[in-house]
Structure 1
Amino acid sequence: MKSLIKVLRTEDIDRRSRAKVKRIYSSNLLIVDEVGYLPITAVEGNLFFQLFSDLQEKTSIILTTNKGFEEWTEFLGDAALATAILDRLSYRCDKIQIDGKSYRLENRKSFLVTEEKNNGKKKAV
């Protein structure tokens, strides 16, 4: 998400960003990871909205987020904008909610647990 917002913000002044945006608009699939982890400004929210408004009905979009729809106003900072974006995103979509343990946390736990050589007990480092 952070990279996408940076590209959208700098499209008018950076040739590389302009090329990336052009590639996004010509893509069949856009995947945006970590939506909502960090709040965005009103300008960034408007750019985000414009992107999804333009891509609606043209490109498949996958978003990952840890925020429920009711929490989008918080990180976008604007209830009307959140409603407009969610309206476009939820039209003709499938929502898949995954509950369970974090893979990253489980992997971290196994990294932190070592087996003592002498008695075979597991010990956290």
Structure 2
Amino acid sequence: MTDSKNDAGWPGDELGLPPEGPGSLAPFGLRVLALFIDWGLASLISLAWFAYSPWATLGAFVVMHVLLVGLLGVTVGKRLVRIQVVRGNSAPGPLWALVRVLLLMLVLPTLVISSDGRGAHDRIAGTVQLRM
């Protein structure tokens, strides 16, 4: 263990999260897998009811995230890979979930990972993705 503030021990260490197990920062790979599952589900909804319209797919994706992440802290994809989004100690609420998903759709904020292991979209919304 070092005394330097610049040397983080593990992703999430700066946030006071454990290095592994429940409550630790969700790894990037699981976050991406959850994103693909959620996009696939939005695509199926669009295909079944909206002739696979790209706008309907995008709309279904946004609505899923605002409602499910905002109220429950998980989407179907996140639940399947056992990660959750929290703001403080609870689900972020619909407003912060909307901010988060709008930034997520810009892609670049998602790829800008800070030393605390979070993407810019999570830092701006004050959220963190944890293992369940």
| TM-score, L = length of structure 1 | 0.26
Higher relative contact order (CA closer than 8 Å, sequence separation 6+): 2
Structure having the larger proportion of residues in strand: 1
| TM-score, L = length of structure 2 | 0.25
Q: Which has the larger radius of gyration?
A: 1
